[in-house]
Amino acid sequence: MKAICFYFQIHQPFRLKRYRFFDIGNDHYYYDDFANDDIMSRIAHRSYIPAAESLLRMIEETGGKFRCALSVTGTALEQFEQYVPEFIDLLKKLADTGKVEFLAETYAHSLASLTDPEEFAAQVKAHDEKIYQLFGVRPKVLRNTELIFCDEMAGQIYDMGYKGCITEGAKHILGWKSPNYVYSSAGCPKLKLLLKNSKLSDDISFRFSNTEWDSYPLTADKYIGWIADTPAEEQIINLFMNLETFGEMQPRETGIFQFLEALPRFAAERGIDFWTPSEAISKLKPVAELSVLHPISWADEARDTSAWLGNQLQNEAFSKLYSVAERVRLTEDRRLKQDWNYLQASDHFYYMSTKHMADGAVHSHFSPYETPFQAFTNYMNVLADFIVRVEEQYPLSIENEELNALLTTIRNQAREIEALNKEAASMRLDIEHLNEEHALREPKPAEAPAAAKPAEAPKKAKKASAKKPGRPRKATKE
């Protein structure tokens, strides 16, 4: 039996407005609301909404045999709630089918996993809570930002409660191996890995409408034939892509929606199933351990992190941002924490990329800036104002050692408070049990001794009065 594991990514950042040097210290609102509203609404109606409707029809028409996974960032969900609430309703309908799995990821689509494990864990937890709040499900499989993964992250991901992680089937990692198996991580053998089949995924994402492609036009029958022709022992074909592939990157006019909806029919003819990532992990055993010494991603030909941290501009902005991470975690200022989330989005660093050739075209396509330097300057102006606000609460003159000591004290106090709360709760239960036992032991009103009859009282009184008091008897010697 062979199966297809479809996963679709949905992410949009909060884009920054033009923020000049003279705005620092004077303007604490950083976002281009008009651009965010316009982009979210346009992509939602061209891509997200019709694609979600297609997925619903595929599930209904196959009686639930078609299944897939979605990963929606917290920043995207916030903007859908604000600008396109009808898409949230569609996502709820998909969740209600029980055939769509929602994956865990960083709330802000950040690069925190590369530098700050504590922030990474906090963001994933916040994202899980958002998914549960909106859709009533708890993610079981993790998809890190841009499929970033390495051995060093594996143990933390497993300890956070995820049995599986999806990442890129990078050639320099796989070598002669195929991505069409379940693997385990060398960094944590209990963590299972699902690897993207880049060739088959990119055939849809990037080559579908390319008239110069030797396989153009791509039909559903032909595509399923390629999957069916893979070796019989290769049981899982992981097709990972952005949902905006459908309607945005590949316009409706190309026939992309008809192609998508035709896939289940031809798959059924060839005996191919559709599984969610959780199903694939539970049904298949790892065939081998896979070692990923350096972080990989699904971006560019290099499949590394150079798309976001490949030049001095990006690294300067990245280190400056996370230099205040400890201080931001101390604050109770909700607005400051919100800005912290939005400024961590990997997109801000992606816009600063100076890559050229084929990759450069992709980078410039997504960037709202004319040049990488303009993206860097605008971001650093915003970041400068943000750091001023952080410093107002926790001055940078405080050394990291002092700050860490303060954090340790706060955490210890939190643990002590938690322990005392548990002890108090236990004592309350003991008191309740004692009260219940005491209530059971007390005699009931019906069982109380009967009162003396009125007729007997005078007789006792008469006998008592008849006795004369005598002299006290002398003590006798023994």
Residue 52 has pLDDT above 90, yes or no: yes
Task: State if pTM tops 0.85.
Answer: no
Residues 6+ apart with CB under 8 A from 158: 188, 190, 191
Taken as a whole, the chain contains a residue count of 478
Query: What whole-number percentage of the chain has pLDDT above 90?
Result: 78
Mean pLDDT, the chain, whole residue set: 90
Pairing mode of beta strands 100-102, 182-185: unpaired
Residue 240: name the closest of 7, 1, 477, 36 by CA. 7
Strand (E) or helix (H) holding 5: strand 2-10
The token pair that represents 161 in the structure block: 């409660």
Active-site position among 101, 119, 146, 168: 146
152-170 pLDDT, tens digit each: 999 999 999 999 999 999 9
Task: Compute, in degrees rounded to 10, the torsion defined by CA atoms 230, 183, 274, 49.
Answer: -110
Does 146 participate in catalysis according to the annotation? yes
Residue 452 has pLDDT above 60, yes or no: no
For residue 470, the model assigns a pLDDT of 47
Instruction: Report whether 136 contacts 372 (CB < 8 A).
Output: no
Cα end-to-end span (Å), the chain: 108
Cross-strand bridge partners of residue 289:
184
Give 411's pLDDT tier (boundaries 50, 70, 90): low
Give 356's pLDDT tier (boundaries 50, 70, 90): low
Residue 98: name the closest of 57, 67, 138 by CA. 67
Query: What whole-number percentage of the chain has pLDDT above 70?
Result: 87
The token pair that represents 104 in the structure block: 């865990």
Least confident interval from 104-118, 188-202, 339-353, 403-417: 403-417
Instruction: Report whether 126 contacts 104 (CB < 8 A).
Output: no
Q: Could you give the C-alpha distances from 17 to 28, 348, 358, 381, 466, in angstroms and in order?
A: 11, 12, 28, 11, 110
For residue 401, the model assigns a pLDDT of 62
Residue 196: name the closest of 415, 362, 8 by CA. 8
Maximum Cα interatomic distance, the chain, rounded to a whole number of Å? 135
Least confident interval from 123-132, 177-186, 385-394: 385-394
Give 473's pLDDT tier (boundaries 50, 70, 90): very low
Instruction: Report whether 309 contacts 315 (CB < 8 A).
Output: yes
- Cα gap 422→357, rounded to integer Å: 61
Q: Could you give the C-alpha distances from 445 to 180, 389, 450, 463, in angstroms and in order?
A: 77, 69, 11, 32
Residue 478 has pLDDT above 70, yes or no: no
